[in-house]
Structure 1
Amino acid sequence: MRHLKFAPSWLRFLIIFLLAMGILFRFFNLDGKVYWYDETYTSLRISGYRITEVKQQIFNNSVITGESFAHFQGANQQKSLNDTIMTLAKEDPYHPPLYYIIARLWMEIFGNSVTAIRSLSSYISLLVFPCVYWLCRELFNVPLSVPGVAIALMAISPIQLVYAQEAQEYILWLVTILLSSASLLRAMRLESQDKDELANEQKQPDLFAIWSIYAVTLAISLYTCIWSAFVALAHVIYVTSAAKFKFTETVRTYLLVSLVGFLAFMPWITIVIGDFFQFLLSADKTKNQSFLMPIFPFLQMQLSRIFFDIDLSPANPLNSLITPILLIIIGYSICFLCLTTNYKVWFFLITFIVVPALPLILSSAGGIQLSTEPYFMPSYLGIQVTVAYLLATQIYNESVSRRSIWQIIMTLVIVCGLISCKVSSQAETWWNKGVSYGNPQVARIINQTSSPLLVSDALGNNYGNIFSLSYLLETKVRFLLVNNQKIPIIPDGFANVFLFNPSDPWRETIEKKYNLKTDIVYSDQYYSVWKLVKSPNLRQRNISINKLVSSL
């Protein structure tokens, strides 16, 4: 790697340019995309209110305005930070509290707007760049070429941009796993040095300090996302295999430090285990509707989105052209890594890619849940670093023709990333919005009508989607929300009444009670919206009466 130690001026300029573009994209149009189902739950957890409290106050068969939702969407005077933590512990322990604590403090300073809460993730995402630089330095021991290309690819990666603008914990999780992984590699490198070499090296961090950093970052990572346990498992496999499965001093130190990190997480993992057993003993095992996708199309789609994503259907000709090229580059980069680096480098990245993703893949016999996509974040990171190594190496290839080909490939990857970020940053909805993908279109349909009333219940995904729609609907829209599919009492004075995702029996019961019919005005794979209209017989009778009155 001697030729990789110093990057030419053009590469430095390119890295700085792409980094600047990536930062601009992260803060552009933060409130432009729909504030979707999962993000409204983030704001609800931050508020400290429980779902049962919200149902009692607004899902009570009374007509309310959109302003009624704001009280449960962020920091407020009625609930404290302790309420935020306790709400997570009681209702959603599988989401550890660290991000929500930070977000609560952030919103108390900057307010509860969509821009404010999403800007927290945007600022956190800036920490990814120095962290990935450190990780690549420890892996490849070069100052700029590979780390610089990795930073550039991360800056314009569309899948990184998605989570840099989400009011969720996943970008913070990425920072924590980068820090823990880099500190682990640093500690292992220092452990492998001779004691005399270690003593004479200037400005060398103390081993105890580095191992302490790993323990702290491991605990922080676990308190950010429970899936960090599988990242830690990847670390265990890597450390033991690097020691050739011998119980060396490095292995002993690592196991002790890891134990400290997990012990720090014990208070929360106890809550998670208790909730799991309570779920098994409970008679109510209903879950929100989940949407499954075959594993291989899912993986193909997600791997492509690391570098190219303009939210097209898989059957689109552009996707059919670009996706195979990107998959070939990813596959070749993994083979190239294994053939040209030593065991400790390529095995670390392979375990980093495979181990956290393997439980998701093995459990997907009937199809993989789309909601599990963020948990592939370590795999995305490992692939991006692998491709960065390939590109940084091949643009220095001794063969002029091969060097030109790889410079063209690198240009293609960069152009795909820039186009994807531009399209994504200007869109009002995106594939990651899941069950709320169609909310902007539904909001336009309702906003175009006069005196509209939106009727819904709290079952399934309706609860979070109604909160999401409250950000999009105009102030003239009123809400009539009921619990447990009670028959709504629809008052007079509303010219247009809409039913949001009603079950067929509930919709038919409403039709019979009010002697009306329902016409579907929107439908997708997640939900449907219906409009109450006069039945044909009643409409025809009114027309006949009007004609009779006119003739008289």
Structure 2
Amino acid sequence: MHHFKLAPSWLRFLIVVLLVIGIFFRFVNLERKVYWHDETYTSLRISGYTVKEVRQQIFNNRVITGTYFDKYQRPNSEKNLGDTIKSLAIEDPQHPPLYYIIARFWVQIFGSSVTAIRSLSAFISLLVFPCVYWLCKELFRVPLSVPFIAIALMAISPIHLVYAQEAREYMLWTVTILLSSASLLRAIRLESKSKELAKKHQASDSIFAWGIYAATLAVSLYTFLLSGFVALAHAIYILASAKFQFTKTVKNYLFASLAGFLAFMPWILVVLFNFSQLDLVTSWTKTQTNFVTLIQGWLIQLSHIFFDFNLGFENPLSYFIAPVILIFVGYAIYFLYRTTNQKSWLFIVLLIAVPALPLILPDLLFGGIRSLSDRYLLPSYLGIQIAAAYLLATQIYSGNLARRQIWQIITVLVITCGMISCGVNSQAETWWSKLISYGNPQVATIINQASRPLLISDSFGINYGNVFSLSYLLEPKVRFQLVKEQKTPKIYNQFTDIFFLNPANDFRQKIEKSNKSKLNVVYQDNYYSLWKLAKSHILRRL
């Protein structure tokens, strides 16, 4: 293990500047990007309504205004906190309730605007900085160099900015991963001290530390189910560090982790009782794709940690950037292994590998796109960023002058890529993270250009969430006709333009036959399409 002095003054100044810039980017233009499909589900859960209730109440073939959506996107007197938890348990058990409980109280205090609800994630993201500082101190036990550079990298990391500005639980999950990991290492350290000193107060400190770990593990589990893979990484680390012997540390860990999972038992029972619903709402992860697409997706995702201009792999720049970042990350992990003790490198390697492999291997063996969701790989990204921070912290002022200068240039390039990425992101209306709602700003522009438009949609598949997403973008003049079970809608002549959101082929054919007219596609992407009824054939049907 190397020992390092405090970072030079220029580096400390740079880190402070990067932290300020990172905080600024987290709060600037919070409302600018499309409030997408999944975020509208966050607001739905906060309201306490279920999808089934919404379908019954507004997907009933009547023409309505955009104000009808408001009731199901904010807290109201008809539903309470218990309804929020119940709606998750019944319809979406993959999402434990902690974030949604916090979010409900948050919007009751600060309002339900897009800025207000996203600001919760932005504020939570600030907790990443002290948490990663603590984790790095526990890992390396060195002065400020590594923890501070880790803070700087996460401050201007594009992937952190994406989820710091999204009304979902993923920044809270990031914080709980760091907290549980740091508290585990602290408990192990105090356990070792109590053995060495054999003092009663040290033993009580150790017990309290294990209690903190149990609590943070439970909090992490109540934030996101995939915390179970992080807990598995912790378990393997404890057993490997003890050389698979039943030591006192192993025993205390087992008691603490058991306490954490027992505290989570109520939601485990919810998941078991509603497993078929969980399987249904996660069925999209089984979408088949080819091996080449998986490899391309993994490379793009890896680059999002340090560089993100919202480029697809079809962009030539991606073919240069992604392999360079892969080499950088690979060398950072190798350098960590070669220059630190097992306590440090093993923990980080397990944090990277264990949460990722249960997603990657099923995709390779059985097909699917589980591993193509950046949010599921956040624990691995944290491990990669800490490894990169360690590499940069050790190299920018170690060795001869030429070597230091090379690594200082690399550090500046990494920082520059992150800052420019955050700048580009902050000005965009949409981003790759919006997935199935990526094209909604363009669709809204098309519809808003009409003088008296009507948007017709059913609630099939992604249409339900996207019509709610569009309600945030469409002007008050737009009317909605939400149909039940693809029932052929009545078309009235007071509307100049009739649009259909992502109609299925059989539904589209029924509409064309009923109205004796053609539907023409006016927008289409990889996820959905917008169609328009031929204007000259709009009939009045009363």
Q: Which moved more, 1:502-511 or 1:379-388?
A: 502-511
| Secondary structure at 1:159 match in 2 | helix
Shift of 1:192: 1.6
| Secondary structure at 1:357 match in 2 | helix
In structure 2, distance between residues paired with 1:208 and 1:300: 43
In structure 1, distance between residues paired with 2:73 and 2:426: 24
In structure 2, distance between residues paired with 1:89 and 1:170: 19
Shift of 1:326: 1.4
Shift of 1:319: 2.3
Question: Residues 312-331 of structure 1: matches in 2 within 5 Å?
Answer: 312-331=311-330
Q: Quick check: 2:157–2:418 contact (8 Å CA) kept in 1?
A: yes
Q: Quick check: 1:520–1:528 contact (8 Å CA) kept in 2?
A: yes
Question: In 2 relative to 1, CA 152–276 (structure 1 residues): closer, same or farther, beyond 3 Å?
Answer: same
Question: In 2 relative to 1, CA 428–285 (structure 1 residues): closer, same or farther, beyond 3 Å?
Answer: closer
Question: Residues 295-334 of structure 1: matches in 2 within 5 Å?
Answer: 295-334=294-333
The residue that corresponds to 1:77 in the other structure is: 77
Shift of 1:89: 1.0
The residue that corresponds to 1:547 in the other structure is: none
In structure 1, distance between residues paired with 2:191 and 2:256: 14
Is 1:271 the equivalent of 2:270?
Answer: yes
Shift of 1:360: 0.5
In structure 2, distance between residues paired with 1:113 and 1:198: 56
Question: Residues 297-376 of structure 1: matches in 2 within 5 Å?
Answer: 297-365=296-364, 366-369=367-370, 372-376=373-377
The residue that corresponds to 2:528 in the other structure is: 527
Could you tell me the percent identity over the aligned residues?
Answer: 62
Shift of 1:210: 1.1
Shift of 1:391: 0.3
In structure 2, distance between residues paired with 1:534 and 1:2: 73
Alpha-carbon RMSD: 2.0
Please give the per-residue CA displacement for 1:377-436, whole angstroms capped at 9, x wherever unaligned: 000000000000000000122211111110010010000000000000110000010000
In structure 1, distance between residues paired with 2:438 and 2:286: 15
| Secondary structure at 2:534 match in 1 | strand
Q: Which moved more, 1:183-192 or 1:100-109?
A: 183-192
Question: In 2 relative to 1, CA 498–239 (structure 1 residues): closer, same or farther, beyond 3 Å?
Answer: same
Give the partner amino acid of 1:22.
G
Shift of 1:285: 9.4
| Secondary structure at 2:160 match in 1 | helix
Unmatched segments (≥5 aa) in structure 2: none
In structure 2, distance between residues paired with 1:256 and 1:289: 34
Shift of 1:22: 0.3
Shift of 1:205: 8.4
In structure 2, distance between residues paired with 1:481 and 1:259: 48
Please give the per-residue CA displacement for 1:129-161, whole angstroms capped at 9, x wherever unaligned: 000000000001113100000000000000000
In structure 2, distance between residues paired with 1:286 and 1:4: 46
The residue that corresponds to 1:157 in the other structure is: 157
Q: Quick check: 1:146–1:389 contact (8 Å CA) kept in 2?
A: yes
Shift of 1:489: 1.4
| Secondary structure at 1:474 match in 2 | coil
The residue that corresponds to 2:396 in the other structure is: 395
Q: Quick check: 1:119–1:165 contact (8 Å CA) kept in 2?
A: yes
| Secondary structure at 1:193 match in 2 | helix
In structure 1, distance between residues paired with 2:162 and 2:198: 42
Q: Quick check: 1:292–1:369 contact (8 Å CA) kept in 2?
A: no
Question: In 2 relative to 1, CA 414–289 (structure 1 residues): closer, same or farther, beyond 3 Å?
Answer: closer
In structure 2, distance between residues paired with 1:143 and 1:49: 50
Report how many aligned residue pairs link the two structures.
533
Q: Which of these two proteins has the greater Rg computed from alpha carbons?
A: 1
In structure 1, distance between residues paired with 2:285 and 2:229: 26
When the two structures are superposed, what TM-score results if normalisation uses the length of structure 2? 0.95
Question: In 2 relative to 1, CA 278–360 (structure 1 residues): closer, same or farther, beyond 3 Å?
Answer: closer
In structure 2, distance between residues paired with 1:240 and 1:482: 57
When the two structures are superposed, what TM-score results if normalisation uses the length of structure 1? 0.93
Give the partner amino acid of 2:357.
L
In structure 2, distance between residues paired with 1:522 and 1:194: 66
Is 1:22 the equivalent of 2:32?
Answer: no
Give the partner amino acid of 1:167.
A
The residue that corresponds to 1:549 in the other structure is: none
Shift of 1:2: 5.7
| Secondary structure at 1:166 match in 2 | coil
Give the partner amino acid of 1:128.
V
